Each structure stands twice: as C-alpha cells, then as structure tokens.
Amino acid sequence: MDLSSFKIKFIEEASILLINLEKDLLTLEKEPENMKIIEDVFRVMHTLKGVSSMYGYDNIGDLTHKLENIYELIREGNFIITAQIIDTTLFTCDHIKRLLEDEAFSNPKNIKNHEKVENKIKEILAKAGIKEKKRLKKKKQVEGQTSTYNIIFYPDESIITRNINLIAQFKELFSLGTYQIVHSQFTKAYDHWSIFLVTEKTLEDIEDALFFILDDCKINRIADFDVFNEEQLEENSQLFNNINTSNKNAENSSATEKSSDNELLVTTDIEIGKHKTSRIAVDSEKLDKLMFLVSELITTNSQLLLTTNSKTYDPIKEYLNKLNYLSNEFRSNAIEIRLVPVEDMALSFQRLIRDLSKHLDKKIEFVTQGTNTELDKNTIDLLAEPLMHIIRNCIDHGIQTPEVRIENGKEPTGIIKLVAFHSGNNIFIQIQDDGMGIDTDVIHKKAIEKGFLKEDEIVSQKQLFDLMFMPGFSTAQNLTEISGRGVGLDVVKQNITELRGEIEVNSEIGLGTSFTIKLQQSIAIMDTMLFSVGDMSFLVPMEDIELCTAYETEYIKERSLTNLIPYKEQLIPFVDLHKEFNLKNKYPKRLETIIISKNEKYFAIVAERIIGEHQAVLKNIAKEYEELDFLSGASVLADGKIAMLLDNGMLYTRVKNLVKN
C-alpha cells in the first residue's frame, strides 16, 4: 500500500507540533516553573518520538526520545529548566524541521548538526549525573511471523454520512487472524474501540483491510508473538508487563506520559488524533477559485436585491431573502478559510529577536498589538521576509546595548513592537523600535555622495527617508552578518510593491523608528452602507456608522463656514463630497448625513441619498483615483456602475484639515 499520503500528513502534523513547541519554549524561558508548559513540551517530544519512526524518520525519533528523558526529569522535579536546556531544545526544534525535508539524512550540514545536538544533550544529562537512556528499536516484521497488533478505532458522525460499511471492514480485518475487542473511554473528547489482533499478516495487509476507515484508526505492533498464548507470554514476560502498562495507560493519560521508555503506549496516537481534524491543507489555486466564485455570487445577489425593490417582485422576495442569507454565510466561511492571523508569523519574529539579542548582547522585549488581525495566507507568506529584514535592522542598527541605553537615560531593555490593524479595505502593519532613531543628516550626506541628490537640493524628511529604499543606498559603515547580508531596504520595498502595498518610515533621533506597511486586500467582501452624491456612488463600512440623519441644505451651507455641526453636545467636523469631487449637480432641499465613529473620534459625511445596506465585493480602485488616499476600494453595482469605498481613518485626517477656526 502506498504510504506517501500518510507521510505527507505526518510532516504537516509534525510541523504544527514544532510551531507549538517553539511557542511553548519561548514562554518557558520566561516562566521556567510553569508546569503546564513543561507538560506540553514533554507531550510534543513523546508524540514525535512515537510517530516519526513509523514513517522512516528514525533520527527524529532518537533525538526526541533523548530530549524526552530530560523533560521527564524536569517533570519529576529532579532537574530544573536552564538556559542551556532551552537553547538546546530550540536548536533541536530547528534541526527537526530540516530533517523533515531530508528523509534520506544525506545533507552534510544536517549530519553535522545532528552530532552537535546529541553532544549537547549528553552534556545536559552529564550535569544531572544521569546516564542517557537507550531507546528500544522496533524490529521490522517479517512476513509469516506471528505478531500482535493494537488497532484503535475513533468513530465519529462522519462514518454515517460517508456510508461506510463497518461490518464489511471489520469482517475483512478479523479474517486476518484472531482478535479481542475492548471498548475504552479515557477522555471526554475521545471515545474509541481498542482491538487486539494476532496475525501472521503484515502491517500493509491490515491497512488494506481497513482502507476506507484508515484515517479513523491508529495501528501499533505491540509484540512479535501471540500475547494471548500463556507459554509465549512467560517467555516474553518483560514485554507482557509493558502490554499491561499500555492497557492501564489507555485509561489514565497522566500515567501514560510518565512511562517515556515504553514503546507500546497509545498516547502518541491520541495526540496525533487530536490534530487530525483541526486543520486541512488545501491547494491555494482551489482557494483562489473558491474566492472568485464567492465574489461572483455576492455580486449577483446584490444586483438581484437592488433590481427587485418594487412590489412586482413580492412573490419571490422570500426566496431572495434566503439567497441573501446563504450568500452571507457562504461569504463568511469562504473568507475565513483563506485568512490567517498575523500572530502566526509573529512567533518567528519573537524567536529571531530572542536569538539575535543574545548574539549581540542586547536586551530586547518583543511586544505585539492587534495580532489577531487576519491576512490572506499568500500575503502572510510573502510578507514574512520583508518584515524579518526590517526587524533585523531594528535589532542591529536601532536598539542600542544596555550600557548605551542607560547612558542615554533609557531603560536597559529595548522595545520592538509589532502592530497590526484594519482601516477600510486596507491593512496596516507597523514595526516600531525605541532605539537611536535615524539621523537625516547622515542620509542627506550619503545621498549626495551616491549622486541621488545635488548639494543645494532641498528635500523633505519624508523624501529623505524614501531614499533609504533606493537600490545601493545604505548608511551602514560596515555590513554585519545580521542585517547586511548584501540585502538592502530596496529589496524590502520591492517585496512590498509586489504585494501592491506601500511602506513609509517615521523616525526621531533618540526616540526610535517606525516602519508602516499599508496593504490592500486583493478581494474583500464587506457589509457596507451604499449612498449617492450626484452621479457618484459611495460605500462606508457598516461597523463605522454611528447614526444616519438629515439636515436642511441651507443649514449645511451655513455650517460650511466652520465645517462643524453639533453632535452629542460637541461640534464635529463634516465633509461635503460635492465639493471634494467638484460635482456640478444641484443640491436637494434636504441632505442625508452619516455620522461616522472611527477610533473613538466622530465626523460626518454629507450625502444626497442613502440607498441602503450593500454587501460589497471590493477590489482595487482605478489608477485615476489612486492619489485620493481616502478611497480604498471599489465595487460593481447592479447597473454596472462603480461605488467607491471610503477609508474613514484617512477621511478623518482630511476632514480635520477642512475645519476653519
């Protein structure tokens, strides 16, 4: 039977476990007595040890077994967490990631690092005065040899919907030998059946018999003899004890975890089973096609709703409402499939900052804000490298050593902050540091030396900062192995541009630097309010709307002297889109007004007619409107016209400038 698909699943599951392990280790470094985290780390080692050898990754199994010994000592209170243990475990974590891509174990660098890891583990165990426990190797079964297998079957409701004939499946399994069935429920979430099968057949034969429910089963060979034969049991008494231990541990998961050397335990299978249904790998092209179909459905649904407002269509209104509901649900589900929280890549940044700060003898704290903000998976993947380079520069050139910071009146520990947030159809990601800041005089001098500026040329601070992204421009006196590497900020700018984004720098000497990346979502679907001004149509996100009201046109004209109207016992600014777009049409007698609440600040948008709620499929705006920063997207309406999405964050900045004292 072809096991390649199962091997791919193993690699995916192992990768998820390693990500969680790295996160736990970084937490454990700050909280070395956190027993819950220690248990979680031990459990990952135990799981990887048990499963890796099944798919030919013996080197991973050996390493995780050795590390498991260390964390077992810590769990039992015989050893404490040290910096060496954390460093070694993180190094091993990185090494295992590389081993997953080097199944043949042929890469010379991996071979060298493997020996390095083993020596580090031996050093740790030597300090504890404990000899390294040897891992029992499983013998490969020979066809015709009697063996005992333990098959754990995890049934769920999908078995019914898949129309699986369980009787036929198990009838074929039981024809392979003799068997006993045990029903065991050892956790609230995992109800399972445990089957012991004595057979001369191979693992492949068992997998063939269970082909249609193989994903719901875990199979372990527990002995190379018949465990139900008393004579053979006496000859293999040690293995018999292990089997008894395995059965007890199936009812008590905590006892299972303490027996790290028992190769017959089922905890490994249970842990993998927990991850089995939590994630699924889907080809990105399929997701792209899904999003296209969803956007077409939403657009068609919106067109139907807008064109069937008259009473003539009352008989079909019920079905249109149902279609609208289904479209909303379909939209939400399809978008969520593609989205990944920024937090997923923040972990790698935390690890980078930790390692480089130690390497450079700097103290740096990594702070995150808004990392639950979600981005398209493709965007996350492409964004990771430029953000990594920016953070390297902050560590290397921005944050000073503790001694220098203290001399400058700062705390010895520097701060690097990752901030993510939405505004309109845009997503903003900022990397901030509280380091030395960027000296514009140095940039100006270097720009003249490089020929980017003339000696008498006067430029703004923003223009100077923009020069840093020019190819070949660098103010560093020496290239370092950390942020040099022959890669400049021009590559960062290029990567951001490929994502159809923008990057901006703000800095102040002695206070620090901020890199702000602005990204447009390629396709977004948003609940909006549709309104018109003259012949133009506009959209505002429903979540930003505080109130819709109306004023006499003459009143608004009078208020244009200050651009302020009263709201909630205060005066708030407003914007008249007639003027912003130089529209020539006549004002109606009354003007609809939309009160916007954005970032705890209020302002108003003066409209002519509010059409109503509109589920908008948003795409990038046309080039002729790109200079208007308060427009962040566009949507096609039922009549084929375009409606512009207003970015209320940027619009508020513009409105403030209109206020007359």
Pairwise CA distance, residues 417 & 313, whole Å: 55
pLDDT (average), residues 373-380: 82
Alpha-carbon radius of gyration of the chain = 32
Looking at the structure, give the CATH architecture of the domain made up of residues 284-340.
Orthogonal Bundle (1.10)
Per-residue pLDDT band for 299 (boundaries 50, 70, 90) equals confident
Is CATH 1.20.120.160 correct for 4-127?
A: yes
Residues 325-345 as b/e (b if ≥16 CB within 10 A, e otherwise) read eebeebbeebbeebeeebbeb
pLDDT (average), residues 318-339: 74
Per-residue pLDDT band for 165 (boundaries 50, 70, 90) equals confident
Pairwise CA distance, residues 277 & 13, whole Å: 11
Tell me, what's the pLDDT at 252? 39
Tell me, what's the pLDDT at 482? 54
pLDDT (average), residues 256-279: 30
pLDDT (average), residues 420-430: 84
Token reading at 529: 């309010």
pTM: 0.57
Largest CA distance in the chain: 104
Residue 438 in this model has a pLDDT that exceeds 80: yes
Per residue in 512-521, pLDDT (tens digit) is: 999 999 987 6
Percentage with pLDDT > 70 across the chain: 80
Identify the helix (H) or strand (E) that includes residue 643: strand 642-646
**Spatial contact of 598 and 648, defined as CB atoms under 8 Å apart:** yes
The residue with tokens 């935390």 is 350
Residue 68 in this model has a pLDDT that exceeds 60: yes
Q: Which residues pair with 180 in a beta bridge?
A: 196
Q: Which of 531, 505, 522, 497 is nearest to 604 (CA)?
A: 531
CB atoms near residue 361 (< 10 Å): 9
Tell me, what's the pLDDT at 503? 92
**Spatial contact of 437 and 515, defined as CB atoms under 8 Å apart:** no
Q: CATH homologous superfamily for 342-520?
A: Histidine kinase-like ATPase, C-terminal domain (3.30.565.10)
pLDDT (average), residues 622-635: 77
Give the torsion sign (CA, 348, 352, 355, 358).
negative
Tell me, what's the pLDDT at 191? 62
The residues, any chain, with a CB within 8 Å of residue 544's CB and separated by 6 or more, are 596, 597, 598, 648
Pairwise CA distance, residues 502 & 494, whole Å: 10
DSSP conformational letter for 207: H
Token reading at 421: 């947030």
Q: Which residues pair with 610 in a beta bridge?
A: 531
Q: Is 193 exposed, middle or buried (0-12, 13-18, 19+ CB in 10 A)?
A: middle
> 27-31, 469-473, 588-592: which range is least confident on average?
469-473
Q: Which of 544, 523, 528, 527 is nearest to 334 (CA)?
A: 523
> 219-223, 227-231, 232-236, 461-465: which range is least confident on average?
232-236
pLDDT (average), residues 621-644: 79
Compare 391 and 233 and report the one with higher pLDDT: 391
pLDDT (average), residues 611-616: 85
Tell me, what's the pLDDT at 476? 58
> 54-58, 170-174, 271-275, 649-653: which range is least confident on average?
271-275
Tell me, what's the pLDDT at 432? 96
Q: Is 232 exposed, middle or buried (0-12, 13-18, 19+ CB in 10 A)?
A: middle
The residues, any chain, with a CB within 8 Å of residue 217's CB and separated by 6 or more, are 151, 152, 153, 154, 210
Per residue in 236-258, pLDDT (tens digit) is: 544 444 334 433 333 333 333 33
Q: Which of 575, 549, 553 is nearest to 564 (CA)?
A: 575
Residue 188 in this model has a pLDDT that exceeds 90: no
Tell me, what's the pLDDT at 229? 79
Tell me how far the alpha carbon of residue 619 is from its chain's centroid: 23
Tell me, what's the pLDDT at 212? 76
Per-residue pLDDT band for 130 (boundaries 50, 70, 90) equals low
> 338-347, 395-404, 527-536, 603-612: which range is least confident on average?
338-347
Compare 378 and 281 and report the one with higher pLDDT: 378
Q: Which residues pair with 617 in a beta bridge?
A: 525
Q: Which of 69, 98, 81 is nearest to 24 (CA)?
A: 81
Looking only at the bridges linking them, the beta strands covering 564-567 and 570-576 are antiparallel
Tell me, what's the pLDDT at 281? 53
Q: Concatenated DSSP letters for 561-630?
A: TTTEEEETTEEEEEEEHHHHTT--SPP-SEEEEEEEEETTEEEEEEESEEEEEEEEEEBPPPGGGTT-TT
Pairwise CA distance, residues 243 & 236, whole Å: 11
Per-residue pLDDT band for 546 (boundaries 50, 70, 90) equals very high
Q: Is 306 exposed, middle or buried (0-12, 13-18, 19+ CB in 10 A)?
A: middle
> 219-233, 299-313, 387-401, 594-608: which range is least confident on average?
299-313
In the chain, domain spans: 4-127, 147-276, 284-340, 342-520, 524-658
Residue 132 in this model has a pLDDT that exceeds 80: no
Q: Concatenated DSSP letters for 23-70?
A: HHHHHHHH-TT-HHHHHHHHHHHHHHHHHHGGGT-HHHHHHHHHHHHH
Is CATH 3.20.20.210 correct for 524-658?
A: no
In what order do the strands lie in the sheet containing 426-433?
Answer: 363-369, 413-423, 426-433, 512-520, 502-508
Q: Which of 190, 237, 238, 257 is nearest to 218 (CA)?
A: 190
Percentage with pLDDT > 90 across the chain: 24
> 129-133, 193-197, 648-652: which range is least confident on average?
129-133
Tell me, what's the pLDDT at 368? 93
Residue 43 in this model has a pLDDT that exceeds 70: yes
What topology is assigned to 147-276 in CATH? Alpha-Beta Plaits (3.30.70)
Tell me, what's the pLDDT at 211? 77
**Spatial contact of 591 and 550, defined as CB atoms under 8 Å apart:** yes
Pairwise CA distance, residues 338 & 376, whole Å: 6
Per-residue pLDDT band for 506 (boundaries 50, 70, 90) equals very high
Angle, vertex CA 370, rays to CA 367 and CA 375, nearest 5: 120
